[in-house]
Chain A
Amino acid sequence: MITIEEALKKDNTYIAGTFDVAVVGAGHAGCEAAHACAKLGLNTILFTLQLDSLANLPCNPSIGGTSKGQLVREVDALGGIIGKMADKCAIQTRMLNSSKGPAVHSPRAQMDRSKYSVMMKHELENLDNLTIKQAHIVKLLTEGDDAHVSGVMSGTGAIYECRACVICSGTYMEAKTFLGEVINESGPDGLPRSVGLSESLKDLGIPILRFKTGTPVRVNKKSIDFSVMQRQDGETDIPPFSFENEMNGITVPTEQIPCWSVWTTEETRKVISDNMHRSPLYSGVIEGVGPRYCPSIEDKFMRFKDKERHQIFVEPMGLNTNEMYLQGFSTSLPEEIQEKMVKSLPGLSEAVIQRNAYAIEYDLVDPLSLKATLESKIVPGLFTAGQINGSSGYEEAAAQGIIAGINAAMKLLDKEPLTVDRSQGYVGVLIDDLVTKGTSEPYRMMTSRAEYRLFLRQDNADQRLTPEGRRVGLISDERYAKFEEKMRRIEEETARLRKTYIAPSEELKEVLESVGSVCPVSGISLAELLKRPNVTYDLLAPVDKDREPLPRDVVFACETDLKYEGYLKLEKEKIEKFKELENKRLPKEIDYSSISGLRIEARQKLDKIRPENVGQASRISGVSPADIAVLMVYLEAFRKRRPQEGIEE
């Protein structure tokens, strides 16, 4: 623990500036946090170890995908920046799961990697209230008995005073990369790592964990024989990530670049199994815990021995580069083996590897030490977002980044913080999972983690979150007016569909029979017709004479909400129950160890995590429904006793 005054006594230190908020790290979390703070009028500084790698995409050159696409839409709905950047830099776009129901539709786009970094840097450089600085932050400075944030210090002795700090250190803190037996003290992509900051956090009493992740090889396009590969083209008739772009008629690019896929061969499997002993993962050199969803190729062969082959995707890294990314081929085997592995793949026998695959190990903060606002429970004024909180993925990082940035701002502006709950968005599911359950591996968002997935759709993220973004101040008047107009149209069209009755006719019969549906004997509302299997809004056009042309997003919303009304109703009931517990706040001063009736395990867990409400308490592993019942009785007793004993909330 060190104060500004103490730091100034050291050699070569000086006050380099005074800011409201310091954001440390300029990846996808840091950029969102800095963008939100600056937009909300706070004097903000954003630090990066290497300006040319701002908003880097060090792994997959794509944004979105299942559940991640939903996250991008949600960040955009709140007023974030990732969706707009992704729209600008997309070189191939797709809507995954379009045949599997609207709740799981997920937008995904290949990015021009270097363009993304350049565009984001330029966007942020032009933002009012934001200073961008290349510097290596090594210490967090604090003041007072509560050790609240007062500044940060760089490796060159520059001290930046600030009232709040958002750390988004990604995989950089005390990072080590592994390429077979070769270990480097380095960040991703050969970038410098962060040294000292992790120690500084540990000194403040923050629990530090260590994880590992990895990335595959990149191959020169001209050395690849695509004729033996399966081609995968993009789709151009889908909405962009950004709702504002969508409302303004900006579409996804019409010219798109294909991706490719191949399968591993028997030779691949043989090369890997012959060299397993040289993998740092299996020889025990890597201590960090790796993710199950993103295993290295050797992991896949080891864990799924019955599976003879695995699919590998070959994806472009941009328009002005020949580099192709081999998705599914991450490894930490030595360089020499990687060469053999890649050449065992169809179409890649002559492949020229431009960058090797590697594994990386890094320090992070135990997310159980965080509040749902992403502020530390231990150091007031310190916020963390992204991989430092145990997540993985650009989208997960951006989602935490905007929440941390908004809440740092709300704290300094003395306004109500923003927390998104599990029924409002994947953002809420992500953060609640991290701060309530913690994580033992890099946490990836998945749609199956969401309980209310029929509500948490990519198409209605604006309905769910734009009012929140408006409240905190990230949505402009112009954008909000358009949003309200869209909502009005959805409402009117839904009402029209409910009250418009269609009489049985030859035309209706023909329309319905074309999808195997029976013509009703008496009049039926359009809404009821839409609930039938395979009956769509477009299909009903010939019998719905009064229909006015409406934007695609409005039609989609009306159609989906009506078609799934029955299922949504069940989910809504679940949400209401959920909200009831979520609204029961637990006072900060509760002494769980003194509550008789709670089981010992529950007392310990509750005391450690100190949940903010009964709902959160109920999701802690080791807390049973009976414990929750006891807790509710205790709460009531507490409320009645408080006025007598003069305890204040």
Chain B
Amino acid sequence: MSDIENKPFCACSTPGGVSGIAVIRMSGNGSFQVCDKIFSILRTCGEAKKISDMDGYTAAYAKAVDPNTNEKIDDCIVTVFRSPNSYTGEDMVEISCHGGVVVKQEILRVLTEHGGRAALPGEFTKTAFLNGKLDLTEAEAVMNVIAADSERALKASNAQLGGALKRELKEAEDKLYEALSLIEMMVEFPEHDDTPENTTKVRSLCVEVKSVFDRLKDSYEKGRVLSERMRIALCGLPNSGKSSLLNSLTGYDRAIVTEVAGTTRDTLEVEVNVNGIPVTLIDTAGIRETDDKIEAMGVERAKTASFESDLTLYLAAPDVEPDEILTQINELLDEGVSKSSLAVVFSKSDLGRNSSSGVIENKCREIGIENFISVSSVDRIYLEELKSFITDRYENLGGTTSGETILLNKRHAMILNESIGYLNMGIDAIDNDMGLDAASSVLRLALDKTGEITGKSVSSELVDNIFSRFCIGK
């Protein structure tokens, strides 16, 4: 039951997968305060300087920033609803962000790391009902939604918990039980000389578990792309070869590629398989090479596509001034595209090695960009090089080839993150000689949390564990 917390809860309300925009909702007391930590308002209709100052039914154009790193995540539209005038009847925030996998996950991550929590199945609807927002006759339907959602979540979770991950989590959990049981035996049967006094063992078990949790949590970062398609944005000046590259990768002439419905920003999205990897290519077409507004719009589009993407390919043609290219690359970086997900592609290599490519490469390396590829849509050899580069990237994002366990579920990652916090407190308590009671109190919290993934209840397990390990009594 420890999931029922007083924290505001959040979830992505638009369907999974990739879309132009996505809507993340947060509901409950403190929603505004959580958002204050993450969003800085760039423009809004009133005087509000932060989300919690905004009136109900108003929206703000705001920048989402990870408070821990000060790195920008996305530009969003944040709409504020004040209790009781919201879907759930509580204070609510709706965040419209770009629809890329990474952006959604990152925003949910920062929300849950700074005072929010992941919503339970059917929780928005349930809360709406409890607050009298839904008709009485809908009660039964709501209950069935919760039941069905829980069932689905359980199935999904079980499927994800299959195999190696399940084994690894169970081993970690067992170790945590062992640590707690050791403490409990010392505490429960102190008069017995054969009760092992083994605080060192408890500590090392905690450290072992923590390292497993750390690794599993990190694997989530890698694993997230697996559940959805890898998105690759093609950027660059007009005539830099984006469209040709797109056509080469699809194997079709782009004239017969269907445009994705609902994209109003004049980009073209194409779903392809690259060496068997599901990829969505985004061509930022339609840029004019002039000084007017339209060019500026083109750059904006390129940036937008990059935010939504797991990989940005910046195409540099041999006939363009290196300075111009570097300016554009810097602009992309300024807007928050990460260096590791940006690759500079020297296009039209069939026309001979780009004479300025050396200059560009050196300058780029100075600012931390490390991915450079040459392509030619005419010469297939260059294309294979690009494909294997994409494959490598995919595997770095959580590829299937390695034997390492991957944690897929966002909820799982968040739970493990909390567990890690409690484990740290437990290790501190032992190191500072705070008493076994304090250590066990936080280790129980860690185990409680982990139990939310594995579904075990601590108390009964613990008592069984003590009895099975230790023989004691009158």
Contact = CB atoms under 8 A, between A and B. Distances in A.
Nearest to B148: A597
Interface string A544-565: 0000000000000000000110
A633 B126 contact: yes
Contacts of A618: 1
B431 to A, nearest CB: 8
A160 to B, nearest CB: 35
Interface stretch (B185-193, B297-305, B306-314, B380-388): B185-193
Contacts of B1: 577, 581, 618, 625, 628
A292 B463 CA distance: 10
Interface string A69-100: 00000000000000000000000000011001
A328 B129 CA distance: 58
A59 B5 contact: no
Interface in A590-646: 595-599, 618, 621, 624-626, 628-630, 632-634, 636-637, 640-641
Interface in A193-219: 215-216
A567 B140 contact: no
A59 B186 CA distance: 24
Interface of A, secondary structure class, is mixed
A294 interface: yes
A60 interface: yes
A498 interface: no
A327 B474 contact: yes
B437 interface: yes
Contacts of B146: 597, 626, 629-630, 633
Given A294-B474, A451-B459, A636-B129, A570 B441 contact: yes
A100 B187 contact: yes
A446 B5 contact: no
B220 to A, nearest CB: 22
Contacts of B467: 292-293
Interface string A425-438: 00000000000010
B474 A59 contact: yes
A446 B183 CA distance: 13
Nearest to A450: B459
A449 B130 CA distance: 33
A387 interface: no
A571 interface: yes
Given A328-B474, A637-B136, A630 B433 contact: no
B4 interface: yes
Interface stretch (A114-122, A124-132, A300-308, A486-494): A300-308
B119 to A, nearest CB: 11
Contacts of A67: 188
Contacts of B471: 295, 300, 303-304, 307, 310
Given A100-B190, A313-B191, A633-B130, A454 B438 contact: yes
A67 B184 CA distance: 12
B129 A633 contact: yes
A311 interface: yes
Interface stretch (A43-51, A101-109, A147-155, A172-180): A101-109
Nearest to A564: B438
A633 B142 contact: yes
B432 A533 contact: yes
Contacts of B444: 451
A311 B193 contact: yes
Contacts of A640: 132, 136
Interface string B436-474: 111011101100000000000101101100110001111
Residue from the set B140, B186, B433, B472 with the largest chain A CB neighbour count within 10 Å: B472
Given A104-B437, A597-B147, A570 B442 contact: yes
Interface of B, secondary structure class, is helix
B192 to A, nearest CB: 6
A533 B445 contact: no
Contact of B150 (A104, A303, A451, A624): A624
The range of chain B's interface size is 35 or more
Given A293-B467, A636-B130, A100 B474 contact: no
A625 B425 CA distance: 27
A53 interface: no
Given A307-B471, A446-B463, A533-B432, A261 B189 contact: no
A256 interface: no
The range of chain A's interface size is 35 or more
A640 B134 CA distance: 12
Contacts of B120: 625, 629
Contacts of B187: 66, 97, 100, 104, 447-448
B148 to A, nearest CB: 9
A563 B429 CA distance: 12
A346 interface: no
A648 to B, nearest CB: 19
B139 interface: yes
A454 B441 contact: yes
A330 interface: yes
B375 to A, nearest CB: 52
B121 interface: yes
A449 B474 contact: no
Interface in A304-357: 304, 307, 310-311, 313, 327-328, 330
B322 interface: no
Contacts of B68: none
B88 to A, nearest CB: 13
A533 B434 contact: yes
Interface string A26-67: 000000000000000000000000000000000110000111
Interface string B118-156: 001111001001101000100110111011001100000
Contacts of A576: 6
A464 interface: no
B355 interface: no
A595 to B, nearest CB: 7
Nearest to A101: B435
B128 to A, nearest CB: 11
A450 to B, nearest CB: 9
A69 to B, nearest CB: 11
B3 interface: yes
A641 B436 contact: no
A288 interface: no
Residue from the set A60, A261, A292, A327 with the largest chain B CB neighbour count within 10 Å: A292
B194 interface: yes
A571 B462 CA distance: 18
B402 interface: no
Contacts of A328: 473-474
B2 interface: yes
B463 A449 contact: yes
Residue from the set A104, A295, A570 with the largest chain B CB neighbour count within 10 Å: A104
28 contacts: A100-B435, A101-B434, A101-B437, A102-B435, A292-B467, A293-B473, A294-B474, A310-B194, A311-B192, A447-B188, A533-B433, A534-B433, A570-B445, A574-B445, A577-B1, A580-B4, A597-B146, A618-B1, A621-B457, A625-B1, A625-B3, A625-B4, A625-B120, A625-B150, A629-B150, A630-B143, A630-B146, A641-B136
Given A215-B474, A634-B143, 12 more contacts: A104-B187, A292-B467, A295-B471, A437-B460, A446-B463, A447-B184, A453-B441, A567-B438, A577-B2, A621-B460, A629-B122, A640-B132
Minimum-distance CB pairs A-B, first 10: A101-B435, A597-B143, A101-B437, A103-B437, A626-B150, A294-B473, A533-B432, A637-B139, A304-B471, A597-B147
Interface of B: 1-6, 120-123, 126, 129-130, 132, 136, 139-140, 142-144, 146-147, 150-151, 180, 184, 186-194, 425, 429, 432-438, 440-442, 444-445, 457, 459-460, 462-463, 466-467, 471-474
